[in-house]
Amino acid sequence: MTTTDPTTAAHAAAATAGAPGVVFPPGFAWGAATAAYQIEGAAAEDGRTPSIWDTFSHTPGKVANGDTGDIAVDHYHRFREDVRLMADLGLTSYRFSLSWPRIQPTGRGPAVERGLDFYRALVDTLLEHGISPVATLYHWDLPQDLEDAGGWPIRETAHRFAEYAALAARALGDRVPLWSTLNEPWCSAFLGYGSGVHAPGRTDPADALKAAHHLNLGHGLAVGTLRELLPASAQIAVSHNLHLVRPLTDSAEDREAARRIDAVGNRIWTGPLFGGGYPADLLADTAAIVDWDELIRPGDLAEIGRPIDLLGLNYYTPTIVSAPRKDAETPDPAHNGGHGESAHSPWPGAEDVVFHLANEDVTAMGWPIDATGLSESLIGMHRDFGLPLMVTENGAAYEDVVGPDGGIDDPERIRYLHLHLAAVADAIAAGADVRGYYLWSLLDNFEWAYGYSKRFGIVHVDYGTQRRTPKSSARWYAEVIRRGGLG
Ligand code: IFM
């Protein structure tokens, strides 16, 4: 594992963070990110079968307006046009996810070549345009057959995931230099099996904790498989939405609330990932919910702790918490990770913790804007884990308006992105080894339980015609990339 000496020239070049003319290190990846179910469409083509998100979105009442990913933004058929857009922006890297049910429809057995062909063509087109591909194996679309067999709460799913990783690595390993195992497993475990606002929509805290362990195990097993099958030069990462948890006040009670959310939101992943096992306080907080001794089998922690090359951070907003209070605020966007309302908590062992808005300056998701949380996260991760980092998601939804000339002017998104890129520069200047930034998202897309009602793209999509129109934020980002930093 490489760690970077903060005195290198790259860091010195970035040391003017916050000042005009902020420059990022040479080789810094200027990216954008998407995910298969959110953009591909072609849900029943070329052998693809339903994932948990197909089932969930087709269940009345689960997704706003009854929206589904059946067509999404039709990227499956329009990927060449989309790669041209990326090239026009000057992106140097593109982070996308592979659809498990497109590659291995039932989650078992051989790969479907037509599914792999799509990704081969996508990757080849990216490479032809000088854009470095970053493939995420799992961005939430578990084959429905595996959910029917028990889903992430059962151990077998972790082994199935490693087998699928092998199929992907054999097909694409010669041309994808950077792989990520999981995207935001916190959401898969705790929104999918705890609060139920995400697929598969189950609401059992014990299942949520079991899912977390099996996602960790699946990650570790997949790292082992990828190391065996990929060229030695390939790099392996995982992307977590680590919560930047701040206590509302400095009281012992609020600090205790923050500790509990940090345990089940963050250290449940980073503890075993970095060889420390599950934290004792997490095990104590959740002892009445799940039998960890039965769940963790001999050898699991060694698998999960296999070394990785890079750690991805997905950051949108900080998480402000307190102990229960009489004046508790009702809108608590962080309660469900900002992904919808549920009577069931996604925080096993910390159900009574109260969430607060960091400030009133919010995006269309209701998520407060506070870029200091991004620099603080990166600096903390550098200090605590000491490996290269990437911001694998960051961006904002706004209610974009198409002007009379067909253009979309989105200065609020530009402001959000500017603040957060400056925060990345601040972290680099403070010594964090941050290798890239992947803006969420390239295109407007299916925003999970919110359907198409929330737009995160820097490229607008007219869902009726599938016409793509770069917003002013896209032109701004292209200029940032051209200059290699903020002006
Ligand atoms: O759209 C999602 C993405 O799939 C995962 N991270 C957060 C984004 C915005 O909610």
DSSP state of 266: I
pLDDT for 7 equals 27
395 CA: nearest ligand 1 atom: 9
In this structure, how many other beta carbons lie within 10 angstroms of the beta carbon of residue 13? Answer: 17
Q: Is the pLDDT of residue 334 over 50?
A: no
CA 456–ligand 1 middle distance (angstroms):
9
pLDDT for 479 equals 98
Which residue, judged by its Cα, is nearest atom 2 of ligand 1? Answer: 447
Which residue, judged by its Cα, is nearest atom 5 of ligand 1? Answer: 184
Domain-embedded: residue 106: yes
Type of residue at 114: R
CA 16–ligand 1 middle distance (angstroms):
31
Domain-embedded: residue 3: no
pLDDT for 43 equals 98
Average pLDDT over every residue of 329-348: 68
Which residue, judged by its Cα, is nearest atom 10 of ligand 1? Answer: 447
Question: What is the count of structural domains for the chain?
Answer: 1
Question: SS3 for 235?
Answer: strand
DSSP state of 189: I
pLDDT for 338 equals 59
pLDDT for 14 equals 37
Q: Is the pLDDT of residue 26 over 60?
A: yes
Which residue, judged by its Cα, is nearest atom 9 of ligand 1? Answer: 447
Q: Is the pLDDT of residue 486 over 80?
A: yes
Domain-embedded: residue 175: yes
445 CA: nearest ligand 1 atom: 1
140 CA: nearest ligand 1 atom: 4
Q: Give 427-478 pLDDT, tens digit per residue.
A: 999 999 999 999 999 999 999 999 999 999 999 999 999 999 999 999 999 9
Domain-embedded: residue 2: no
> Strands 459-462, 467-470: parallel, antiparallel or unpaired by DSSP?
antiparallel
Q: Give 157-203 pLDDT, tens digit per residue.
A: 999 999 999 999 999 999 999 999 999 999 999 999 999 999 999 99
pLDDT grade for 17, boundaries at 50, 70 and 90: very low
pLDDT for 325 equals 84
CA 307–ligand 1 middle distance (angstroms):
26
pLDDT grade for 45, boundaries at 50, 70 and 90: very high
CA 471–ligand 1 middle distance (angstroms):
19
Range of the domain at 255: 9-486
Q: Give 94-114 pLDDT, tens digit per residue.
A: 999 999 999 999 999 999 999
Q: Give 359-389 pLDDT, tens digit per residue.
A: 999 999 999 999 999 999 999 999 999 999 9
Please give the share of the chain, as a percent, with pLDDT higher than 90. 91
The residues annotated with a catalytic role in the active site are: 184, 393
pLDDT for 87 equals 99
> Strands 354-356, 485-486: parallel, antiparallel or unpaired by DSSP?
unpaired
Domain-embedded: residue 88: yes
In this structure, how many other beta carbons lie within 10 angstroms of the beta carbon of residue 202? Answer: 20
Question: Which residue shows structure tokens 């900080």?
Answer: 318
More confident residue, 27 or 12: 27
Ligand 1 test: best mutation among 37, 95, 393, most atoms within 8 Å of CB?
393
How many residues appear in the chain?
Answer: 487
139 CA: nearest ligand 1 atom: 4
Q: Is the pLDDT of residue 331 over 60?
A: no
Domain-embedded: residue 238: yes
Which residue, judged by its Cα, is nearest atom 4 of ligand 1? Answer: 35
Give the alpha-carbon dihedral of 28, 31, 37, 40, to 10 degrees.
Answer: -130
| Domain containing residue 156: CATH number | 3.20.20.80
In the beta sheet, which residues pair with residue 462?
467
In whole angstroms, give the CA distance from residue 15 to residue 28. Answer: 15
CA 291–ligand 1 middle distance (angstroms):
31
Domain-embedded: residue 61: yes
Type of residue at 3: T
Average pLDDT over every residue of 242-256: 98
339 CA: nearest ligand 1 atom: 10
Q: Give 67-83 pLDDT, tens digit per residue.
A: 999 999 999 999 999 99
Give the CA count within 13 Å in the CB-facing half-sphere of 13. Answer: 13
pLDDT for 277 equals 98
Average pLDDT over every residue of 382-397: 98
pLDDT for 341 equals 78
Ligand 1 test: best mutation among 138, 184, 362, most atoms within 8 Å of CB?
184
pLDDT for 10 equals 34
Mean residue pLDDT across the chain = 94
Please, which residues have CB within 8 angstroms of residue 362's CB and are 6 or more apart in sequence? 333, 368, 369
Which residue, judged by its Cα, is nearest atom 1 of ligand 1? Answer: 447
Please list every protein residue whose CB sits less than 6 Å from any atom of ligand 1.
Answer: 35, 38, 184, 314, 393, 440, 447, 456
CA 447–ligand 1 middle distance (angstroms):
7
pLDDT for 447 equals 98
Q: Give 207-243 pLDDT, tens digit per residue.
A: 999 999 999 999 999 999 999 999 999 999 999 999 9
pLDDT for 330 equals 46
Q: Give 311-329 pLDDT, tens digit per residue.
A: 999 999 999 999 998 765 5
Using CA of residue 101, residue 104, residue 105, residue 106, what is the dihedral sign?
negative
Average pLDDT over every residue of 241-246: 98
440 CA: nearest ligand 1 atom: 8
Please give the share of the chain, as a percent, with pLDDT higher than 70. 93
CA 148–ligand 1 middle distance (angstroms):
25
Domain-embedded: residue 1: no
In whole angstroms, give the CA distance from residue 262 to residue 410. Answer: 34
